[in-house]
């Protein structure tokens, strides 16, 4: 079963590499949305470093929603999903494989780029370190939660708005703990509780999101 899990990830990697536009769009959107803030609120370093964590997190949140509606859509439309459902791999593992490959091709890039954005927003080195750690813990959670909305809207042609409405409220805890961990580190207070909470949210979403998403996909396959 693990072999099939890996082959789904490998195939999605190839597809993502050959249809690179979507991933590039996400990175460009992330970059543009962060770059626009200094233009809007002014270039004062003190202000930017104060609101920086919030800016990066909100931008990451919107970037991750941007193409989530496509995560299952191609497989749903060409019938691949039905064949996977008839295979030995449970649909829950398929969801997990899709979420992991989506994170590796988009979320991980956001994590790698986040220190650069931290610098653009004049964040301290400690703030940048915690920004990267929280993004590393938070972005997979965002994608896993997003798969629930994507699975429910998979049969809709333009499901991205519905997905946003469904999942943005569920993103709030991740956003709060992510930003709060960075603020704590900047203010020399321990960020351990927030990081532990982000870790628990990730664990919960690894367990629960595939179950909920697989149920959503099964409903749409009827």
Partner 1 sequence: MIDHENSIILENVSCDRGNRTVIKNLSLKISSGKSFTIKGQNGSGKSTFLRMLAGFQKSINGKILFKGKSIFSNQQEYQNKIFYLSENNPIKNTLSCYENLFFWAEIEGMENQLQTALEFQNLENYKNLPAKFLSMGQKRRLNLSRLAITQKKIWLLDEPINGLDKESVLKLCKVIEAHLANQGIVVIATHVDLNLETDTFYL
18 binds partner 1 per the rule CB under 8 A: yes
14 binds partner 1 per the rule CB under 8 A: yes
24 binds partner 1 per the rule CB under 8 A: no
User: Using CB under 8 A, which of 35, 41, 82, 207 touches partner 1?
Assistant: 82
Residue for token pair 């653009």: 120
User: Using CB under 8 A, which of 41, 77, 172, 187 touches partner 1?
Assistant: 77
CA proximity to 77, closest of 152, 161, 156, 5:
156
CA distances from 163 to 17, 42, 205 (A): 25, 33, 17
Distance between CA atoms of 31 and 49, rounded to whole angstroms? 17
155 binds partner 1 per the rule CB under 8 A: no
13 binds partner 1 per the rule CB under 8 A: no
Number of residues that bind partner 1 (CB under 8 A): 25
Query: Using CB under 8 A, which of the segments 56-64, 73-81, 99-107, 148-156 binds partner 1?
Result: 73-81
Residues with Cβ within 8 Å of residue 140, at least 6 apart in sequence: 99, 100, 103, 107, 202, 205, 206
79 binds partner 1 per the rule CB under 8 A: yes
CA count, 13 A, side-chain hemisphere, 219: 15
90 binds partner 1 per the rule CB under 8 A: yes
45 binds partner 1 per the rule CB under 8 A: no
Handedness of CA 120, 123, 125, 129 (dihedral sign): negative
Residues at the contact surface with partner 1, assessed by CB under 8 A: 3-4, 7, 11, 14-15, 18-19, 74-75, 77-80, 82-90, 221-222
């Amino acid at each position: 079963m693990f072999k099939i899990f890996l082959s789904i990830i490998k195939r999605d990697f190839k597809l993502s590499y050959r249809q690179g536009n979507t991933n590039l769009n996400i990175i460009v959107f992330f970059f543009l949305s962060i770059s626009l803030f200094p233009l809007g609120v002014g270039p004062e370093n003190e202000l930017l470093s104060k609101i920086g964590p919030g800016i990066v997190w909100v931008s990451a949140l919107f970037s991750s929603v941007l193409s989530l509606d496509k995560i299952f859509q191609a497989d749903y439309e060409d019938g691949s999903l039905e064949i996977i459902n008839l295979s030995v791999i449970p649909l829950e593992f398929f969801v997990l494989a899709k979420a992991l490959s989506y994170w590796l091709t988009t979320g991980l890039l956001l994590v790698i780029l986040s220190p650069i954005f931290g610098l653009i927003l004049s964040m301290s080195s400690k703030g940048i370190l915690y920004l990267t750690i929280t993004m590393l813990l938070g972005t997979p959670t965002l994608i896993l939660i997003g798969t629930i909305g994507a699975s429910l809207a998979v049969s809709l042609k333009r499901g991205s708005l519905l997905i946003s409405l469904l999942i943005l409220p569920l993103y709030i805890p991740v956003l709060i703990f992510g930003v709060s961990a960075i603020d704590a580190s900047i203010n020399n207070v321990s960020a351990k509780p927030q990081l532990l909470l982000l870790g628990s949210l990730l664990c919960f979403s690894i367990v629960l999101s595939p179950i909920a998403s697989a149920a959503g996909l099964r409903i749409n396959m009827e």
